[in-house]
């Protein structure tokens, strides 16, 4: 499920296809302090330790797990710097998602939705449709328009568009703030996503993946 989410996520962000290694998928972002991000293929302790020890300072590592606090401690013990917020991988059967209508724009596999109030874009979001999956991304509401249910309108419109395009399963990575909205709409928590960044002075690692990380 994480790999399916990752494909939609990278399309939403306009990234190149991820690079596949034995222990992780690597996405190249080229952002300050976040040149690339690794997504562990397992939360096996040995694999997590190996990846965490090899993190460069500008590389992030995300581990999807059912044991968020334990993984965060293991990342810290291995020299990485876990972020305080742990996000949640969520899913839903889109045919059961509440529907709504707002302005929509299509660009290839992507659908963009925005809610306009008095000429101002009050809320918006996007979805990448990949086969039968629909990956929601960047769901946001302007602070001046919060507590009006506009996030639900955005989600309902994205879900309707995704179903029209043949998607059946919705996937997303929820922040702490967004989690409660998605639960109200029927989304289910599947796993915790723990993210850490590399230490300022990363330790050397061996193997092909280690060589890639060392180059930053």
The two three-digit tokens of residue 121, written as one number: 């874009």
Q: Tell which residue, 48, 3, 88, has the closest CA to residue 196.
A: 48
Cα 154 from Cα 145, distance rounded (Å): 13
Per-residue pLDDT, 89: 98
Q: How far is CA 129 from CA 6, 21, 124, in A?
A: 12, 25, 17
Domains of the chain with bracketed CATH: 2-88+192-215 (no CATH), 90-190 (3.40.630.30)
Place of tokens 């810290």: 76
pTM of the model: 0.88
Residues above pLDDT 90, as percent of the chain = 88
Cα 15 from Cα 13, distance rounded (Å): 6
Digit-coded pLDDT (tens) for 173-183: 999 999 999 99
153 neighbors 137 (Cβ within 8 angstroms): no
Digit-coded pLDDT (tens) for 37-90: 999 999 999 999 999 998 999 999 999 999 999 999 999 999 999 999 999 999
> Is the per-residue pLDDT at 151 higher than 50?
yes
């Amino acid at each position: 499920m994480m790999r399916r989410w990752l494909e939609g996520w990278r399309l939403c962000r306009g990234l190149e296809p991820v690079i596949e290694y034995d222990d992780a998928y690597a996405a190249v972002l080229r952002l300050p302090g976040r040149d690339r991000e690794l997504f562990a293929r397992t939360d096996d302790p040995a694999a997590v330790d190996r990846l965490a020890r090899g993190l460069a300072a500008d590389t992030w590592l995300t581990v999807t797990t059912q044991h968020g606090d334990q993984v965060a401690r293991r990342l810290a013990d291995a020299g990485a710097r876990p972020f305080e917020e742990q996000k949640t991988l969520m899913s839903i059967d889109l045919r059961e998602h509440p529907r709504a209508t707002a302005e929509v724009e299509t660009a290839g596999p992507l659908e963009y939705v925005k809610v306009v109030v008095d000429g101002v874009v009050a809320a918006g979001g996007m979805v990448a449709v990949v086969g039968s999956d629909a990956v929601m991304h960047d769901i946001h509401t302007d602070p001046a328009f919060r507590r009006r249910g506009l996030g639900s309108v955005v989600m309902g419109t994205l879900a309707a568009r995704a179903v029209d395009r043949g998607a059946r399963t919705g996937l997303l990575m929820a922040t702490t703030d967004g989690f409660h909205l998605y639960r109200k709409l029927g989304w289910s928590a599947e796993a915790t996503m723990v993210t850490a960044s590399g230490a300022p002075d990363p330790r050397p690692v061996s193997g092909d993946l280690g060589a890639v990380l060392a180059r930053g």
